A and B are shown apart, each in its own frame.
Chain A
Amino acid sequence: MSLFKQMALAISLIIIILLGAVMAINYQSSKRDMIQSLYETTVNNISSITSQLSEAGNSPALITSTIDAEFDSGYYKKIDFESNDGSFSYKQEDIDPVNGVPTWFINFTNIKLDTVTSDVSSGWNMIGIVSVDGDTGIVYKALYKMFVQLLYIFAISVSVSLIILSIMLSIILKPLKGVQKQAEAVIRNEFILQENIPYTKEFKDVVLGMNNMVSKVKAMFDKGNEELKRQKELEYIDQTTKLRNRKYLIDKLPEYLKIDARSKGGVNMLAALSGVIEANEKIGHQEVDKLFNEIANIFREEVAYYEENIIARMNGTEFSIFIPECNSKNAIAMAEAILKKSSKIIQEHKLNTGETFLSIGLYEYNYQESIGKLLSQSDNALAQAKFNDTNIHLAQVGNITEVMGKDAWREIINDAIQNNKLKFISWSTVDVKNKKIAHKALSLTLQASEEKIYYYGQFMAPANQAGLSDDIYRNVLKMLFKNDDDNFKGAVCSLRLPFEFLTLSNTYEEMKTLLNSYTLKLPFKLIIEMPDKLVSQNSELVKDYKRLFEKNHIEMGVFEFIGESIDYQYLQELRPVYIKGESSYFLSQSDQSLSALRLITDSVGIALIASGVMDMQTVEELQKRDIHTIQGKATELIKTY
Chain B
Amino acid sequence: MKIILSCFITILLYVNLHAQLIDQQIANAAEIKYNRFAKNRFLDINNSLLDKLRGASDIKKLNVVNTWVNQIRYKSDKKVYGVSDYWATLYEFVGKNKGDCEDYTITKYYILKELGIDPKRLKFTYVVYKNRRGKRISHMVLTYLKVARPTSKDDILILGNNNRLVLPASKRPDIIKVIKMINGDTGAKSKKWKRLEANMKRKKL
Contact = CB atoms under 8 A, between A and B. Distances in A.
Chain A partners chain B: yes
Interface string B111-146: 000000000000010111100000111111000000
B185 interface: no
A59 B191 contact: no
B138 A61 contact: yes
A309 interface: no
A308 B197 CA distance: 101
Contacts of B177: 62, 65
A199 B135 CA distance: 96
A128 to B, nearest CB: 16
B190 A74 contact: yes
Interface in A67-95: 68-76, 91-95
A95 B85 contact: no
B138 A72 contact: no
Interface of B is mostly: strand
Contact of B136 (A52, A61, A91, A92): A61
B68 to A, nearest CB: 25
Contacts of A73: 180, 182, 188, 190, 192-193
B195 to A, nearest CB: 8
A64 interface: yes
A612 interface: no
A71 B85 CA distance: 11
A254 interface: no
Contact of A66 (B83, B137, B179): B179
Contacts of B85: 68, 71, 92
Nearest to B125: A69
Contact of A72 (B83, B139, B182): B182
Nearest to B135: A61
Contact of B127 (A59, A60, A65): A65
A62 B128 contact: yes
B191 A94 contact: yes
Interface residues of B, number: 25
Contacts of B180: 66, 69-70, 73
A132 B83 CA distance: 19
Contacts of A64: 138
A69 B190 contact: no
Contact of B83 (A52, A68, A76, A95): A95
Contact of B128 (A65, A95, A135): A65
A69 B191 contact: no
Nearest to B182: A73
Interface in A201-229: none
A69 B126 contact: yes
A94 B137 CA distance: 22
Interface in A83-124: 91-96
Contact of A62 (B124, B136, B188, B190): B136
A64 B85 CA distance: 12
Interface in A133-165: 135, 137
Contacts of A66: 126, 179-180
Contacts of B140: 68
Contacts of A68: 85, 126, 138, 140, 179
A65 B139 contact: yes
Interface string A159-174: 0000000000000000
Contacts of B128: 59, 61-62, 65
Interface string B86-107: 0100000000000000000000
A103 B192 CA distance: 21
Contact of B191 (A52, A62, A75, A91): A75
A95 B139 CA distance: 22
Interface of B: 83-85, 87, 124, 126-129, 135-140, 177, 179-180, 182, 188, 190-193, 195
Interface of A: 52, 59-62, 64-66, 68-76, 91-96, 135, 137
Instruction: Give me the 4 closest cross-chain CB pairs, A-B, nearest first.
Output: A61-B136, A69-B180, A69-B126, A64-B138
7 contacts: A61-B129, A65-B179, A68-B126, A69-B126, A71-B85, A72-B126, A96-B195
Given A62-B177, A92-B84, 18 more contacts: A61-B128, A61-B136, A61-B137, A62-B128, A65-B179, A68-B126, A68-B140, A71-B85, A72-B124, A72-B126, A73-B188, A74-B191, A75-B191, A76-B191, A93-B84, A94-B191, A96-B195, A135-B191
